[in-house]
Structure 1
């Protein structure tokens, strides 16, 4: 296949907003091979290993842990790369490749999602040196099937500590603790995982890292009282994980000028993609709620906020890759229940899912050309079920 067909930079904004990024079209086998290589490089020889969600909250925990172990990377190469990206057409994928040439921290980082948690832990059990310290941050297993690999990690490690703030099943939490893990779960509507790590680690953190946890909470819990939380959210999304951890570890939420310039550069297109998604939105009445439903490659939090301002109690943003974000409000705090019915989960006001409805590329072709029609129907049906149960 011609590379130009999946080059997002060559597309008009209208087409770009309707299609997934280039990574979607790479086979899972290539992604797995790359992920395994990167994980092995991070894990082997490390003094400690962190398996973390790749968002601002999970990566904020990594910054805290590298402070504890005095294992932060030099920030200067990342700042130089940032300046180059803000002044040129260099893509983030190219910058990710630059990470291969940089030094490794003695606190290795393996990013994971709830769906890839088992794989990440298996790599730790296979590649980690004996008696390593292992941390798992901002990840919640779906069920007890993870216990076998958790036990393998515990057998390999000196200590295993797990920090999170999601809503855990009691049996899963008991099984993880029973395997020998020091598990600390904060209140999901009061703390982010960075808060949990900050109070759980026996260390006198500098003010800028305590501030980082507070601003991360403002974003992660959708409090939206600190304007710096939007900067952290965007930067964690656009930068490589190592860059984000290094920069916020050095500066906290007071991001330096090269980062601010880079964010300004990226936000021009971001705002246009948000506008396109908001323009496509339709309001649906489901039980007692008004649900704003739209489609597109965009920043889901800003789109959800715009739909709330238009009267939506909940927002559904269907993505070209087939997943969807569900956002709530004071009038709707059951987003995790809706997501749980369509192969997902999350928090009462913020959840995600990917309905199991894609059997082949023809299903995806239909998804793109109809702007997610089937996915929208499946998720709205889940809203109907939750509304019926509420009645």
Structure 2
């Protein structure tokens, strides 16, 4: 396949909004090989491994742990502070060109809720015996999904701590603790995982890190009372996780000028993609609730806020890659229940899912050309089931 066919960088926004980025089209096997090699290199000689969600909350925990273990480096700088090149999200190309990093004592292994077991397996395979292992901002839906890999990691690690703030199933939490893990789960309505790490780690943190946790919480819980929280969220989304960790470890929530310039450039396109998604949104009545639903490659939180202003009690943003974000309000706080019915999970007012409905590329082609019609239908069915109180824990797309 020609590179230009999957490179969306130069597409008009109307087209870029409805197709996935380049990373979507890379085979999983290639991506897994690259991630395995990166993990092996990161873990070589490391004293600590941190398996963390690569959003602002998970990466803040890595910054905190590097402070605890005195893994302090000079913060990276771009090759030219006057040249902020196009950044990256999880589907697109390169971010700012940074110098080659040196190995850290506290190794970062980025993971998602769907592949945390892979990261644990890499720790078991590549880490030195006696390493300290932390898992941050990740929640397995079922213990059996991570049981074998966690057991293998426990055989290698001297100790394992797990910090999170998502909605944990009681049986899953009990099983993780019984395996020998120090699991601390914060109140998802009050804390982000960085808050949990600050209060759980035996360390007297400088106020800059307490502020970092507070600003991270402001976005992660969608409080939106501190304008810096959007900067943290966008920067974590658009740049390399390793860069983000070192910048916030050095600067906290007050990002340097070169980062703010980079964000300003990226936000021009971000706002245009938000406008595209909001323009194609629909409002549907589900029981006593109004659900806003749309499709597009966009920043889901801002789109959800725009739909709330139009009267939505909850919002669904279906992505070209097949996943969807579900956002609630004070009127609807059962997003995690909806997501659980369609291969996902999360918080009462913020959740995510990817319905198991894509069997081949023809299904994806239909997804793109119909703007997510099937995904919208199965998620709306899940809303109806939750609102009407039907069944427990069954996927509505089966």
Q: 1:347/1:38 Cα in 2 relative to 1: closer, same or farther (>3 Å)?
A: same
Q: What residue is the counterpart of 2:394 in the other structure? A: none
Q: Aligned equivalents of 1:294 and 1:201: distance in 2? A: 41
- In structure 2, relative to structure 1, the CA distance for the partners of 1:180 and 1:285 (3 Å cut) is same
Tell me, yes or no, if the aligned pair for 1:84 and 1:90 is still in contact at 8 Å. no
Distance in 1, matches of 2:323 and 2:96, equals 24
- The aligned runs of 1:35-74 (5 Å cut-off) are 35-74=35-74
Residue in 2 that maps onto 1:136: 135
Report the equivalent of 2:393: none
Q: Which residue of 2 aligns with 1:9?
A: 9
Partner of 2:357: 357
Deviates more, 1:327-336 or 1:90-99: 90-99
Shift of 1:80: 2.0
Matched with 2:396 is none
TM-score, normalization: structure 2?
Answer: 0.94
Which residue number in structure 2 is paired with residue 83 of structure 1? 81
What SS class does the counterpart of residue 64 from structure 1 fall into? helix
Tell me the TM-score normalised to structure 1 length: 0.96
Aligned to 2:116: 117
Offset at residue 150 of structure 1 (A)? 1.4
Cα displacement string for residues 324-372 of structure 1 (whole angstroms, at most 9, x for unaligned residues) = 0000000000100110110100000000000111111111011101100
What is the distance in 1 between the residues matched to 2:218 and 2:169? 25
Alpha-carbon offset, residue 96 of structure 1: 7.6
What is aligned with 2:315?
315
State the shift of 1:9 in Å: 1.4
Structure 1 residue 244 and structure 2 residue 234: aligned? Answer: no
Would the alpha carbon gap of residues 11 and 195 (structure 1) be closer, same or farther in structure 2, given more than 3 Å must change?
same
- Is 1:292 equivalent to 2:292 in the alignment? yes
Which residue of structure 1 lines up, in the alignment, with residue 395 of structure 2? Answer: none
When you count helix as a share of all residues, which structure comes out higher?
A: 1
CA contact (8 A) 1:81 1:95 kept: no
**Deviation readout 1:25-66 (Å, 9 max, x if unpaired):** 000010000000001111121010000011100000000000
Aligned to 1:32: 32
Match of 1:177 in 2: 177
Q: How many residues align?
A: 387
- Specify the SS of the correspondent of 1:109: strand
**How far did 1:6 drift?**
1.2
Q: For 1:289 and 1:31, locate their aligned partners in 2 and report how far apart those are by CA, in whole Å.
A: 40
1:169 CA drift (Å): 1.3
Counterpart residue number, 1:20: 20
Tell me the distance in 2 between the aligned counterparts of 1:97 and 1:127. Answer: 28
CA contact (8 A) 1:83 1:262 kept: no
**Helix, strand or coil for the counterpart of 1:351?**
strand
8 Å Cα contact 1:8-1:21 kept in structure 2? yes
Q: Which runs of 5+ in 1 are unaligned?
A: none
Where does 1:152-163 land on structure 2 (aligned, <5 Å)?
152-163=152-163
Contact 1:82/1:259 (<8 A) preserved: no
For 1:230 and 1:246, locate their aligned partners in 2 and report how far apart those are by CA, in whole Å. 18
Provide the C-alpha distance between the structure 1 equivalents of 2:183 and 2:10, rounded to a whole number of angstroms: 47
- Which shifted more, 209-218 or 4-13? 4-13
Paired position in structure 1 for 2:386: 386
